Amino acid sequence: MRTVEGKSFGKIILLGEHSVVYGEPAIAIPFPSALITTKISESVGSCQLKCFNYTGDLMLAPESLIGLVELIKEIMKRLKQELNNFDIEIESTIPAERGMGSSAAVAAATARALYAYFDQALSDEELLDLVSISEKIVHGNPSGLDASIVVLEKPLYYIKGQAFEQFDFNLDAYLLVADTGEKGNTKFAVSSVKDFVDRDEKGKMYVSDLGQLVIDARKVFNDHDEIGLGNIMNKVQANLKALGVSNETLDKLVSVALANGALGAKLTGGGLGGCMIALMKSEADAKKVSQALLANGAKNTWITEMKSEGVK
């Protein structure tokens, strides 16, 4: 029996979530700990799907999987293949809806696996186009950042509608990612920010301040200034909180990180749950912050060096 695999991983937004939807820049890094693997196996009959929250006929999958189902149908159309005589299994090392871009990674891994199964080459342009189809269904009005990073698989300085810009950095610092254990809701968070921006000048101001902070961060990265980056992360968190996308759990973990020596801490991704990140000067500091976060309710933590080659 023939089996073929496709892989992809999620991302962490260092700076620029939400404001990126309005054309402001964002900086994101691939996050290999959030690995998605899609397996396609030869079978007989209608396509069966096995994934985190569903096992059964692909065409009877629940509404929550509509982005994936539509993506698979589109791929079959492009490859001129029938949707039967193979099964799809999707495995993930992280839970869904944690602000790590798992939906884009699932789409990319599945597209890669299906093209490989049918022995077709898949260009970056076509992969980006396919991932964007499912992201639009899942997120409503996505900036395209998640789709871009799963294609590029390198740190990215991203502006909506512009070509990929790889972003290399080398800071003498450590980044910690902590999972609150709560599902985020990116679609809801993005639409509530839009309501705020549409009705209140303050909303527009927070978004443009967030954009300026990302521009400032470029200089801080160039100067290898981790203290400056920590300060920017704290200002970004204050703006995201003012926009209404933080919550009690994220605020608590941010305070715990800062009280235990982090240079800066903020939510990452859509917010209202999901994950937070913190920056520390040394690995020992990062471990100390990790212990404090786990003792205060974080469900999982990951530590990585702040070097682009360390990230991917």
- Chain residues that interact with ligand PMV, rule: CB under 6 A: 17-18, 20-21, 99-101, 139, 142-143, 145-146, 184, 186, 190, 269-270
Q: Which C-beta is closer to ligand PMV: that of 22 or that of 118?
A: 22
Whole-number Å distance between alpha carbons of 43 and 40: 9
112, two tokens: 């890669």
Distances in whole angstroms, Cα of residue 50 to Cα of each of 38, 58, 89, 101: 10, 9, 5, 20
At its nearest, how many Å lie between ligand PMV and the CB of residue 169? Answer: 20
Q: Which C-beta is closer to ligand PMV: that of 189 or that of 229?
A: 189
At its nearest, how many Å lie between ligand PMV and the CB of residue 99? Answer: 4
Whole-number Å distance between alpha carbons of 144 and 160: 7
Q: Which C-beta is closer to ligand PMV: that of 101 or that of 228?
A: 101
Q: Which C-beta is closer to ligand PMV: that of 228 or that of 274?
A: 274
Q: Which C-beta is closer to ligand PMV: that of 100 or that of 214?
A: 100
At its nearest, how many Å lie between ligand PMV and the CB of residue 141? Answer: 7
At its nearest, how many Å lie between ligand PMV and the CB of residue 26? Answer: 7
Q: Which C-beta is closer to ligand PMV: that of 6 or that of 25?
A: 25
122, two tokens: 């898949």
Give buried/exposed letters for 160-182 (b at 16+ CB in 10 A, else e): beeeeeebebebebbbbbbbbeb
At its nearest, how many Å lie between ligand PMV and the CB of residue 227? Answer: 26
Whole-number Å distance between alpha carbons of 57 and 303: 38
280, two tokens: 């520390």
Whole-number Å distance between alpha carbons of 17 and 19: 6
The residues with which 267 forms a beta bridge, in sequence order, are 276
At its nearest, how many Å lie between ligand PMV and the CB of residue 51? Answer: 18
